[in-house]
Structure 1
């Protein structure tokens, strides 16, 4: 049984809530200026080459994102001039 590809538009509120929750977690760890949008940009940046991941992978990537991974993403983005 194959699952249908999910549509970002249908789940955007749920995904936004997950990213906001992760940003709140980072703020509790002392990263004061992290937003849900920042989390989404970090997580979704690795899908540029792969394309849209399965929903379970997206959820796992958001909730398992580590602060060090996020900081590495910011540093690389700064070097590339993205942010």
Structure 2
């Protein structure tokens, strides 16, 4: 798998990721891990971003809304579960993807 250009800055962006995870914890979302947040950023927010600048990446991290992240996490959860094998699970996923 090709590395995303933002991967070069991951260590430098760690304080921003920690800050965002702490913000989510204050909001009552205790189970969000840095690697999940990073995955969201790479696969959703920065999916088509090829030219990256560290200050834009930091701003993107700090602007993540809990609703955006939770929608992504829910869809990813459905993708990896066996629930998709059932018609009910497929209906639920289709509804989330609208």
TM-score over 0.5 (shorter chain): yes
Query: Which TM-score band applies after superposition, normalised by the shorter structure?
Result: 0.7 to 0.9
Structure 1 position 76, deviation (Å): 1.4
Partner of 2:75: 76
Q: How far apart are the structure 1 equivalents of 2:77 and 2:10?
A: 27
What's the TM-score once normalised by structure 2's chain length?
Answer: 0.63
Structure 1 position 29, deviation (Å): 0.3
Q: What is the Cα-based RMSD across aligned positions, in Å? A: 2.4
Tell me the matched-pair count: 76
Partner of 2:43: 45
Runs of 4 or more above 2 Å deviation: 11-14, 46-57
Which stretches in structure 2 are left out of the alignment for 5+ residues?
82-98
What's the TM-score once normalised by structure 1's chain length?
Answer: 0.73
Which stretches in structure 1 are left out of the alignment for 5+ residues?
none
